[in-house]
Amino acid sequence: MEDNDSIEDVYEDSVTVQSDPFGSFESFRGYHEEKRQLCRTVVEPAGYDRYVTTSVLLLGEHADCQTTTLAKGVTSKLGSEYTFFEIDSVYNDLMGEEDNIEATLNAARSREPGFVLLTCLDEHGFGEEEYESLRTQIESIQQSHDRVTVVCTAQNQDLDLTTHDSLFEVTIEVPKPGEKFRRGTLNTELERAETAGVIKSTQLDVEALSELDIADLTLQELRTVIKRTVQRRRRASDAEKPTITPSHIQDSIKIVEAERLEESVGSPLFAEDDTDQFEPEIPSVTFDDIGGLRGEKQRLREAVTKPVEYSDTFRQAGYSVGQGILLHGPPGNGKTMLAKAVANDLAYQFLSVKGPELEQPLVGVSEDQLRELFQTAREHAPSVIFFDEFDSLAPSRKTDTPVWKDDLVNTLLSELDGLEPLADVIVMAATNRLNELDDAVLRSGRFDTFIEIPSPSLEEQVEIFAVHIADLPAAEDVTTEWFGSLRLSDLSGADIMAVCRKALEFAVRDFDAGSTQRLVVTRANIQAAVERLRSELQESQWSQGYQ
């Protein structure tokens, strides 16, 4: 670039250049140790003329880690003669492949002393080539003793960063923000609302901050808390600039927590499984998390847990510990969660896949995926493979099935019989259509244990309800006895979970609208949720029949 002064114009969408500091340490609380390290390793050497610190990495493993905030705070400690640059993208949208980093560092060297902040190391486009370019630039700065400090931030220590860690003279690991920073975030957001002219001046003292229950909230959720507080107060107050008290903020905290609980209320029971089929993990679900099904839990322990516990005895007798377990019965009653509980009970890695996910009509693709799944299970043994909607994966070949499905069944049989044994790998499956499975799959030696998971009895419905309502802010009269008196015999376990979730939605709606004084799930909310669920089920059944 011939004219370095034009960098602001050429890269205006991805590079910020200014003479004023980006921020200050005084603008946020906490991080005392990290501030001290930055003062010692960056600010103090800035006065050493040609011997400044050239390259710094602030590394945080979590999105809440305040790497960029700390880096910007450094700028207020540097001299007024500094020019400050921030690069938030590797490439300029308008300039295509032209490298922002090289151009910006050249501009910083021409205007030294300069401070360059790179917040783009986590970008997908920042790879081997970009690291080598950065290394070349930094080594050139060091050799010429230019007064330029490059501070980089990253959330994840990826392979490329690990390979190039020698690039940085100083590396500081930044933890998740402590309580001082998190509570200070509330005051910062209140100041912004005050500056915007939407509330009266409101600052919480240390005592008021300490009384707010924010331990489980992320920084984004804390910002949402203040936003919801401002919205609620402006709706409820006639004043142009309403006041905000700690109790108003605590009410909003309850709303945000409830909304988060609403999103995760299906966990750990009957939740949709979003685990990548080739990324095994030990589930958090235990048998105690599953309401009812006492006999079925005992059968699973006898069929799986005990053989593993006495594996030497079983192997000496010539029996495999990794036998197949088939769970069958109507949908929504806990088959998937029982499989997860087995893996948790044994501390085995869990790999789950739905049968339709392996339905790939392209020749050989489904078979390759299935082989890869079994190979992953062997590599991560001891492990549990769980096939949901098993009838889709192993339909009877006596029916008019596509040829590629027959090939998929043959591959499954080959893996179950295996030239390469399934040592310490337990295969489990679930189906709602037992009579549609291929006979060969059900042969002894492949699946030896069949356990029916029926619809819950009234007693089991009450137990399932108790599991879900325990995590909700329920009214005192919302008891398991009351729920049992409703005689909702047609509800499955999944239906009961959905009722509790919808009841929470109704409770949040009422509280947020100001029609209730407390965020609490009432009997009326539960009954309204039951009616809504049945209405939706009827609409779904009508729609399917219409189609």
Q: Same domain for 34 and 128?
A: yes
pLDDT, tens digit, for every residue of 41-61?
Answer: 999 999 887 789 999 999 988
- The answer as to whether 270 is a domain residue is no
pLDDT, tens digit, for every residue of 316-351?
Answer: 776 666 568 888 888 878 888 888 888 888 888 888
Lowest mean pLDDT among 134-138, 221-225, 356-360, 419-423: 419-423
Distance CA 446, CA 444 (A): 5
Give buried/exposed letters for 490-506 (b at 16+ CB in 10 A, else e): ebbbbbbbbbbbbbbbb
Residue 539 falls in the annotated catalytic set: yes
- The answer as to whether 453 is a domain residue is no
- The answer as to whether 279 is a domain residue is no
pLDDT, tens digit, for every residue of 174-185?
Answer: 998 888 888 888
Is the pLDDT confidence value at 17 over 70? Answer: yes
Q: Same domain for 14 and 113?
A: yes
301: containing domain: 287-447
Provide the pLDDT for residue 195.
84
Phi, psi of 354 (to 5 degrees): -85, 140
Lowest mean pLDDT among 116-120, 410-414, 543-547: 543-547
Mean pLDDT confidence for 494-502: 86
Is the pLDDT confidence value at 501 over 70? Answer: yes
DSSP letter for 261, please: H
- C-alpha closest to that of 74 among 161, 1, 174: 174
Last residue of a domain, one of 447, 481, 508: 447
- C-alpha closest to that of 390 among 346, 434, 360: 434
For residue 462 the two structure tokens come to 């009450």
Give the count of beta carbons closer than 10 Å to the beta carbon of residue 422. 22
Degrees (nearest 5) of the Cα angle 155, 157, 161?
120
- The answer as to whether 304 is a domain residue is yes
Give the count of beta carbons closer than 10 Å to the beta carbon of residue 482. 13
Mean pLDDT confidence for 293-302: 82
458 touches 489 (CB < 8 A): yes
Domain count, the chain: 4
Inter-helix orientation angle 403-417/365-379, to 10°: 20
- The answer as to whether 282 is a domain residue is no
> Residues 259-268: contacts with CB within 8 Å, 24+ apart?
259/508, 260/221, 261/471, 261/472, 261/504, 262/501, 262/504, 262/505, 262/508, 265/468, 265/471, 265/472, 265/497, 265/500, 265/501, 265/504, 266/497, 266/501, 268/337, 268/340
Last residue of a domain, one of 113, 140, 173: 173
- The answer as to whether 281 is a domain residue is no
Q: Whole-number mean pLDDT of the chain?
A: 80
- Report the percentage of the chain scoring pLDDT > 70: 83
Is the pLDDT confidence value at 397 over 80? Answer: no
Select, from the ranges 102-106, 262-266, 381-385, the one with the highest average predicted confidence (pLDDT).
102-106
pLDDT, tens digit, for every residue of 92-146?
Answer: 544 444 567 888 899 999 999 999 999 878 776 677 888 888 899 999 999 999 9
Phi, psi of 383 (to 5 degrees): -150, 165
Is the pLDDT confidence value at 467 over 50? Answer: yes
Mean pLDDT confidence for 68-75: 94
- The answer as to whether 353 is a domain residue is yes
Distance CA 247, CA 233 (A): 12
Select, from the ranges 105-119, 175-189, 297-311, 471-485, the one with the highest average predicted confidence (pLDDT).
105-119
Distance CA 93, CA 71 (A): 25
- The answer as to whether 272 is a domain residue is no
Q: Same domain for 163 and 18?
A: yes
Q: Same domain for 307 and 392?
A: yes
Q: Does residue 97 or residue 314 have the better pLDDT?
A: 314
Is the pLDDT confidence value at 213 over 90? Answer: no
Distance CA 495, CA 171 (A): 51
Mean pLDDT confidence for 14-32: 88
Lowest mean pLDDT among 12-16, 84-88, 126-130, 496-500: 12-16
103 touches 11 (CB < 8 A): yes
Provide the pLDDT for residue 399.
66
Q: Same domain for 111 and 41?
A: yes
Is the pLDDT confidence value at 274 over 60? Answer: no
Cβ-proximal residues to 306 (8 Å cutoff; 6+ apart), any chain? none
Provide the pLDDT for residue 237.
78
**pLDDT class of 267 with cuts at 50, 70, 90:** very low
* CATH number of the domain where residue 394 is located: 3.40.50.300
